[in-house]
Amino acid sequence: MNRVYVCSCFGITEQQVKQHAEDGACSPRQIASACKAGTDCGSCVRRIQALLGRGACPRRAPAEQGRPVPARIEAVEDLDEAA
């Protein structure tokens, strides 16, 4: 069996990164949470990004990213009453 190591600090292989991606990890940070790859010297982060590919996961809504979501204003009249 030929093992291609992505993270030599923690002995994480390409296959392990791909498996974590199949299990739902969409970013190098999520891969790091799953197996520590990329958390020591950081030299493997670009390789992890390449393995994940662009557009591998859908974009999250602002609320899921921890950013405030602006309230929706239903009518301009509501603004006049508030002023």
CB 36 within 8 A of CB 29: no
Q: Over the chain, what is the mean pLDDT?
A: 79
Residue 33 confidence (pLDDT) above 80: yes
Q: What's the Cα-to-Cα distance from 48 to each of 6, 38, 64, 79, rounded to whole Å?
A: 7, 8, 23, 49
For the residues 49-77, what does the mean pLDDT come to?
62
CB 52 within 8 A of CB 46: no
What is the reported pLDDT for 81? 57
Beta strands in 1-83 (DSSP E): 5-7, 12-13
For the residues 24-51, what does the mean pLDDT come to?
94
pTM: 0.64
pLDDT in tens, 46-62: 999 999 986 556 555 55
Local structure of residue 34 (DSSP, 8 states): H
